[in-house]
Structure 1
Amino acid sequence: MQIEFYKYQGTGNDFVMIDNRQGIFPKDNIQLIAHLCDRRFGIGGDGLILLENDPETDFKMVYYNSDGNQSSMCGNGGRCLVAFAKKLNVIQNSTTFIATDGLHHATIADDGLVSLQMIDVADVKITPDHVFLNTGSPHHVQLVEDLEHYNVKENGASIRYGELYGKQGSNINFVKQVDATTFSLRTYERGVEDETLSCGTGATAAAIAMNALGKTEANSIDLNVEGGKLVVSFDKKDGQFTNVFLKGPAEFVFKGSIEI
């Protein structure tokens, strides 16, 4: 069977996109999904995303990590899916869609920047050496000095598979402050089991964590990721973070078809 796919990237976080409104994609075939995400033998991507029908919103997002397993929310993937939905004429410039962590609102500007509302965050766990919070996916955030030369894959894997997070694991983020409103970020993503050029839920987590730690008083924070720049904004009241938005580019790369 021939499947048509689209390739999108958001600050270097890349995804295989498939329009599954007809329900023909074999969603439970973990090996197939991993193969499609393989950069040498397949299409290549940090994940695969299905756009599906939803009775109450514009569409449903079904996200798989590159290991083939369905996973928690992906912020950059969500932004790319919004751009994909517009390309398919499913939406125009604003949308409401459903994902694994609930309802999301998003807008897409004329310059292609997508602003995606993330879940509210009320529980931010601060320890002496890291912060842990869930922004649709679990995230460990810690400050490091020499971020540019830091071994993200080795150190990230060590924490991800360590005693701290057990079998489920966590995404691991390493952060360095640039100025009062800007931070640099590198992320080790579970399910990819490597550093990615960008992580949307990770950028969201890093921004909130830095505010919670008192490293910044800003409620609009710039994140320099390996693949570009993201902006995270939020409202904060009584330690709760609401109206959380992740903003950045979401770009179509190419389309094609592959036999499965």
Structure 2
Amino acid sequence: MQIELIKCHGSNNDFLLIDEMESRYQFDDHKRRQLALALCDRKSSLGADGILYILDSADTDAKMRIFNSDGSEASMCGNGLRCAGRYVCEKLGKEEAVIETMKANLQVKKHDALYPDIPTYQVEISPVSFKLEDLPLNMDRETLIQEKVHQLDEDLLFTALAVPNPHLTAIVQKDQLESNLQKKISEKVNRPNNLFPDGVNVSFIRLLEKGSIYVRTFERGVGFTNACGTAMSASTLVTCLIKENELEKPINVYNNGGMVLCAVHEKQGSYTIDLIGNATFVYSARLEIDFTEKGIVSGILEKEPYSEGLQYEKLQEHARAYLANF
């Protein structure tokens, strides 16, 4: 069978987007996992952090499901939601849309360009929970906010939260960021362990100056990524909790793939986060796919590049030049 897709990225957290809204593919979850395992493999295929499947929804403009490169399904993906939101808005001829995700229906809308000539979208990141049972994290307490976890490290202060993906964050110094500490902790909590039975996304946060932070994330099911939208959102919230940044004000969040803006809103003790950043289309492709007992045999029939990538490289250069000062 032939399938069409779009390679896209948010902060160089890259995805393959497949439109199932017309239901002509009729994939089941086994085939969706097979596709993720085969097509996201950077050594033998197109390569990506995951696949965004866009489906019809009974209650919203569309539904997004995301399968990571290891075949697991994520409950949400902020960078992916921007790309999915752009696709749905352009498909339906709208400036904003509501997208159904596993845990919530979330608003997406076109935003003023983050950097000249870069398609930019704002997405809602919610719900937010600090209850350890929502991650889950097995500890004899209800929350973990800026506290030590001796099983992981003797010095770092950790905060655990679900947005709704599970996240474990720590604010670090430059030498800690440059060490192998994050890799060591991340691999421990994403192998069989007694703390995080389902694994967890691990982010190291570096405070740069008021209103600007750097975030690097080891993403569950993927590994180190150029950026993780929900992780950048969670990390921004953590810096607001400790008064390093302010609620309601946009925060510059730098990452290895570029930068985004995040703004945290609080109402009656509950939080929502706006994630604002690029939704860049890299190329469209048409593939021949053959599902076999051993997996998938695929071949690229056609590949048509978009011109947006060159402009995004300018944003990356801007971000790198800024980070070089720290």
Query: Structure 1-normalised TM-score?
Result: 0.92
What do the CA deviations read for 1:82-101 (whole angstroms, capped 9, x no partner)? 112234x2242111110111
What is the deviation of 1:25?
A: 4.5
Contact map agreement 2:127 2:164 (CA 8 A) in 1: no
Q: Could you tell me which residue of structure 1 aligns to residue 231 of structure 2?
A: 202
Match of 1:114 in 2: 121
1:72 aligns with 2:75: yes
Q: Which digits, 9 at most, give the CA deviation of each residue in 1:31-77, with x for residues without a partner?
A: 33210111121221101011111122110101111111222100100
* Higher helix proportion (structure 1 or 2): 2
Matched, 1:143 2:171: yes
Question: Distance between the aligned counterparts of 1:233 and 1:143, measured in 2?
Answer: 18
Give secondary structure in 2 for the equivalent of 1:176: strand
Residue 192 of structure 2 is aligned to residue 174 of structure 1: no
Q: Name the structure 1 match of 2:284.
A: 255
Determine the structure 2 residue equivalent to 1:217: 246
Contact 1:20 1:52 in 2 (8 A): yes
CA contact (8 A) 1:125 1:132 kept: yes
Q: Which has the higher strand share?
A: 1
Shift of 1:239: 4.2
Counterparts in 2 of 1:130 and 1:162: CA distance versus 1, 3 Å: farther
Structure 2 distance, partners of 1:229, 1:13, is 11
Shift of 1:216: 2.2
| Cα separation, 2, equivalents of 1:230 and 1:199 | 10
SS in 1 for 2:92: coil
Worse-matched range after superposition: 122-131 or 58-67: 122-131
The residue type paired with residue 42 of structure 1 is: S
State yes or no: 1:125 paired with 2:144: yes
Higher relative contact order (CA 8 A, sep 6+): 1
Q: How many residues align?
A: 257
Would the aligned equivalents of 1:52 and 1:61 in 2 still touch at CA under 8 Å?
A: yes
Matched residue type, 1:179: E
SS of equivalent to 1:235:
strand
Question: Which segment is superposed worse, 25-34 or 95-104?
Answer: 25-34
Is the CA contact (8 Å cut-off) linking 1:181 and 1:218 kept in structure 2?
Answer: no
Q: Distance in 2 between matches of 1:122 and 1:221?
A: 21
Which consecutive unaligned segments of at least 5 residues does structure 2 have? Answer: 114-118, 131-142, 149-156, 290-326
Query: SS where residue 67 of structure 1 aligns?
Result: coil
Query: Are the aligned partners of 1:58 and 1:91 in contact in 2 as well (CA < 8 Å)?
Result: no
Aligned in 2, Cα 1:93/1:237: closer, same or farther, shift over 3 Å? closer
Question: Which residue identity does 1:28 align to in structure 2?
Answer: H
Deviations 1:133-153 (A, max 9, x none): 011200000011126523343
Q: CA deviation at 1:238?
A: 5.4
Q: Find the residue that maps to 1:44 and give its secondary structure.
A: coil
Larger Rg: 2
Per-residue CA deviations over 1:203-225 (Å, capped at 9, x if unaligned) read: 01101111112332343321111
Q: 1:143 to 1:52 in 2, by over 3 A?
A: same
What is the TM-score normalised by the length of structure 2?
0.74
Unaligned runs of 5+ in 1: none
How is 1:1-260 mapped onto 2 (pairs within 5 angstroms)?
Answer: 1-23=1-23, 24-26=25-27, 27-29=29-31, 30-87=33-90, 89-109=91-111, 111=113, 112-123=119-130, 125-126=144-145, 127-128=147-148, 129-146=157-174, 149-151=178-180, 152-161=182-191, 163=193, 165-192=195-222, 194-219=223-248, 220-237=250-267, 239-242=269-272, 244-260=273-289
